[in-house]
Structure 1
Amino acid sequence: MKSICFNGSKIRRLLAALICVSLLVWSPLPAFAAVAQIEESPGQMLYQSRQNLRDQTGRSWQAIAFKRIHPDGSAIISLRLVGFPGAVELDHTQPLTLTTSLRQTLIAKDVSSEISQETPALANVGEYDIQPVIPQLRAEIPLELTLPMVTGSGIKLQIPFTAIQEWQTISAL
């Protein structure tokens, strides 16, 4: 009867290779949000980026940055922030404050009243003109948004570097 003898270093290498392959196969891939492109009407394009964020209290927010190019070539770049209805009430008379980790403060005008001329701005939805501030943002420098609330306190959102990169991509289109 023959016995089979394995070299210990070969077994370790085989196990290491199996572990590496297992990690590649069963690990979730990183999520990359893409910039969506939509033709809203002939000659009018919409580019947008969406992120789901949480504020300092754990409430969920959706951040939608978009650039709308009109048939005449004019364009707007806005950031729409949507909180859960009934949970928050934004103060539409105040701007959005963007603060970098270097303590640089930028302001984005509230343009929520321009969402729809037929209906007033919703309390949980804010839209801000970010076109003037995008050139001043750097993806490698952390960014915090402070949304003004009717109560006087502000809601804070931490913006990931990937979102800033997508906003800059949209701006360049």
Structure 2
Amino acid sequence: MCVSLILGSTSPAFATIRQIEESPGQMLYQSRQNLLDDMGNSWQTIAFKRTYPERSATVSLRLISLFSEVDLDHNQPLILTTSLGKTLSAKDISSTISKDKPPLGSVGEYDFNSVLSQLQAEIPVNLTLSTTNGESISLSVPSAVIKEWKKLIID
């Protein structure tokens, strides 16, 4: 039993939704997990919703490679494929991360406003990212993570 507690499992650690007041009336809600890609490399995923005083909101998904040998193609969308075969795409909005500098190759941010509402909490999803060398990177997202992401749009 001690060995299993020490070794743990390879499934992602699930956190609660974090809430941060960025300015009066402007809130940021975040869900963070670490996931592995198809090559075993670790990625931090941050799904977040930002609400503004006038009641508008944006929902985004940021993917950060925790290894440096990746150069994401920011001209390509993020492709989401459910385990039932449904395919969705999310526009790359990485240029909004920093207006002063071009986006890093190891960081991608995607418009999740309409995509997240189309996902079913019980159904796992595969994320496919395009790289500048024409290869793809895949990350499997378990249903528990999808459930947490969907909590962002319930408010």
Q: TM-score, normalised by structure 2?
A: 0.89
Shift of 1:162: 1.5
Amino acid at match of 1:89: D
Shift of 1:85: 5.2
Taking the aligned partners of 2:90 and 2:142, their CA distance within structure 1 comes to 18
Deviation beyond 3 Å, 4+ runs, structure 1 = none
Instruction: Look up the SS of the partner of 1:34 in the other structure.
Output: coil
Taking the aligned partners of 2:98 and 2:78, their CA distance within structure 1 comes to 19
1:97 aligns with 2:75: no
Residue in structure 2 matching 1:122, options 92, 104, 115: 104
Residue in structure 1 matching 2:55, options 73, 83, 94: 73
Structure 2 equivalent of residue 132 of structure 1: 114
1:57 aligns with 2:28: no
Taking the aligned partners of 2:31 and 2:124, their CA distance within structure 1 comes to 18
1:88 aligns with 2:42: no
Residue in structure 2 matching 1:146, options 108, 111, 128: 128
Shift of 1:32: 3.9
Instruction: Give the gaps of 5 or more residues in structure 1.
Output: 1-21
Taking the aligned partners of 2:14 and 2:66, their CA distance within structure 1 comes to 24
1:70-127 superposed Cα distances (whole Å, 9 cap, x missing partner): 1222110000000035311000000000001111100000000011111111110000
Asked if structure 1 preserves the Cα contact closer than 8 Å seen for 2:74 and 2:94, the reply is: yes
Instruction: Look up the SS of the partner of 2:113 in the other structure.
Output: coil
Structure 2 equivalent of residue 11 of structure 1: none
Taking the aligned partners of 2:54 and 2:98, their CA distance within structure 1 comes to 20
Asked if structure 1 preserves the Cα contact closer than 8 Å seen for 2:126 and 2:140, the reply is: yes
Taking the aligned partners of 1:78 and 1:66, their CA distance within structure 2 comes to 5
Instruction: Look up the SS of the partner of 2:76 in the other structure.
Output: coil
- Name the % identity: 55
Amino acid at match of 1:100: T
Shift of 1:161: 1.1
Structure 1 equivalent of residue 93 of structure 2: 111
Structure 2 equivalent of residue 161 of structure 1: 143
Q: Larger Cα Rg: Structure 1 or Structure 2? A: 1
Taking the aligned partners of 2:37 and 2:56, their CA distance within structure 1 comes to 33
Taking the aligned partners of 1:44 and 1:166, their CA distance within structure 2 comes to 21
Shift of 1:139: 2.0
Give the structure with the higher percent helix: 1
Shift of 1:172: 1.5
C-alpha RMSD of the superposition: 1.9
Q: What is the aligned length?
A: 149
